[in-house]
Amino acid sequence: MSEHRLFFAFWPDEATRAALEAARAGLFPLSGRPVEPANLHVTVAFLGGVEASRLERLAALAGPVAPFTIAFDRLELWRKPKVLTATSSQPAPRAAAIVDGLWQRLDRLGFARDPRPFVPHVTLARDVRSVRPGLRWTTVAWTVDRVCLVESTVAEAGVRYLPLA
Ligand code: ATP
Ligand code: MG
């Protein structure tokens, strides 16, 4: 039986991805491993390993949402997971509602929600223990218009995320 490592995400369009990359380029040199540009995303709901037979039901939960914008306007170093993230100083009620609605449906399919509150964030680099003082981040306004189901795969070049639906 084959398992797929899955999560739901906000997946950037090309312009948003380019803006994230450009903003991050302004932070270099960084002490950790930058996330591959093609992998930059916002995790909405992490599922973990899922049987292939369940893919179709899950894919049906992905799709368009009424557009809204999140301003990723600050940097945070999360010391325990050692990730450098872009976050928002504003609450994101629309994103939170999407996450809640998704988890209601996932709950019925037997998936368990992480008890930690949802914090929209873009992981920019991993294995970051410290950053230079005075790092400047350029705000990235990200307009969300869909939720994607994404598969996390491991290739020779490292982890790679592939949007499925
Ligand atoms: P690696 O685990 O090899 O460092 P990764 O974390 O980039 O790679 P995955 O573990 O497949 O890749 O994670 C996919 C996405 O889901 C990432 O955004 C990751 O931060 C998030 N994620 C992973 N595990 C959890 C979890 N237990 N709860 C919430 N989000 C998670
Ligand atoms: Mg991981």
Q: How confident is the model at residue 165 (pLDDT cuts 50, 70, 90)?
A: confident
Q: Residue 109 pLDDT more than 90?
A: yes
The single-letter code of the amino acid at 133 is: P
CA distances from 58 to 26, 107, 120 (A): 37, 12, 21
pLDDT at 134: 87
In the chain, % of residues over pLDDT 90: 95
pTM: predicted TM-score of the whole model, two decimal places: 0.95
The single-letter code of the amino acid at 21 is: E
Give the residue from 43, 42, 35, 34 showing the smallest Cα distance to 16: 42
Mutate which of 4, 46, 162 for ligand 1? The one with the most ligand atoms within 8 Å of its CB, which is 46
Ligand 1 closest atom vs CA 152: 11
pLDDT tens string 130-150: 999 889 999 999 999 999 999
Residue 121 among the catalytic residues: yes
> Domains of the chain (ranges plus CATH)?
3-163 (3.90.1140.10)
Average pLDDT, the chain: 96
CA distances from 70 to 21, 93, 116 (A): 17, 10, 20
Contact status, residue 76 vs residue 87, Cβ threshold 8 Å: yes
For 20, the 3-state DSSP assignment is: helix
Residue 41 among the catalytic residues: yes
In the chain, % of residues over pLDDT 70: 99
Ligand 1 closest atom vs CA 39: 7
Element (H, E) at 162: strand 158-163
Question: Which alpha helices (DSSP H) does 62-129 contain, by range?
Answer: 93-108
| φ/ψ of residue 82, rounded to 5 | 55, 45
Contact status, residue 58 vs residue 6, Cβ threshold 8 Å: yes
pLDDT tens string 25-70: 999 999 999 999 999 999 999 999 999 999 999 999 999 999 999 9
